[in-house]
């Protein structure tokens, strides 16, 4: 039986980096509030790019401020759900990052081989700059499946 993915706080990242030190790491990030088919396909495709899949999980405050809605699941619950997916190896619980510089620091700390994105990622240019700075590659691993979005699912169920 596969063990669950490890869940750590961002503040504890420096103490845990040895876990993925000698692997081809793939980094993805997001809210993952309501796990759906699009998330599943994205995470599967991201995992195929390397040996170790790291998910950086946005805070509840991020969802409130940037998505302009309340999260359906709190960050800890979202992490627990993700930790049970076979392709996920590590989940990092992010605090609220007020600036893009915080994300640059995060990427430098993790130093992934690949940053996996979905087609049309709104942060693509920032992610390319981050990747260039550490010698990583940004890979578009899936097309955006417009029917499968947390926002669409929430509308259907009035969430």
97 belongs to a structural domain: yes
Burial tier of 147 (Cβ tally within 10 Å: 0-12, 13-18, 19+): exposed
Active site residue 3: no
Q: What is the CATH number of the domain that holds 53?
A: 3.40.50.620
Instruction: Report d(CA 140, CA 118) in Å as an integer.
Output: 5
Question: How many helical (H) and strand (E) elements, i.e. helices and strands, does the chain have?
Answer: 7, 6
Establish whether 65 is a catalytic residue: no
Q: Spell 15-46 as b/e; 16+ CB within 10 A means b.
A: eeeeebeeeebbbbbbbbbbbbebbebbbebb
Q: What confidence tens digit (pLDDT) does each residue in 129-156 have? A: 999 999 999 999 998 766 656 666 556 5
With 70 as the cut, is the pLDDT of residue 108 above it? yes
Tell me the per-residue pLDDT of 18-36, one tens digit each, with 9 for 90 and over. Answer: 999 899 999 999 999 989 8
Q: How confident is the model at residue 3 (pLDDT cuts 50, 70, 90)?
A: confident
pLDDT score of 7 = 98
Question: Dmax of the chain from CA atoms?
Answer: 45
> How many structural domains are present in the chain?
1
Domain interval for residue 121: 6-15+23-156
Task: Spot the catalytic one: 69, 109, 132, 155.
Answer: 69
Q: Is residue 1 part of a domain?
A: no
The reported pTM is 0.91
Asked if the structure places residue 85 within a domain, the reply is yes
């Amino acid at each position: 039986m596969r063990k669950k993915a490890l869940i750590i706080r961002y503040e504890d990242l420096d103490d845990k980096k040895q876990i993925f030190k000698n692997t081809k790491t793939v980094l993805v990030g997001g809210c993952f509030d309501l796990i759906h088919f699009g998330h599943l396909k994205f995470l599967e495709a991201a995992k195929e790019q390397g040996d170790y899949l790291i998910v950086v999980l946005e805070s509840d405050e991020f969802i409130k401020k940037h998505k302009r809605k309340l999260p359906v699941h709190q960050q800890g619950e979202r992490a627990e759900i993700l930790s049970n997916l076979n392709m996920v190896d590590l989940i990092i619980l992010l605090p609220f990052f007020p600036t893009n510089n915080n994300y640059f620091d995060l990427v430098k700390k993790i130093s992934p081989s690949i940053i996996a994105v979905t087609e049309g990622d709104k942060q693509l240019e920032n992610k390319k700059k981050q990747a260039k700075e550490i010698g990583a590659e940004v890979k578009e691993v899936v097309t955006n499946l417009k029917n499968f979005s947390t926002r669409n699912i929430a509308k259907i169920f009035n969430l």
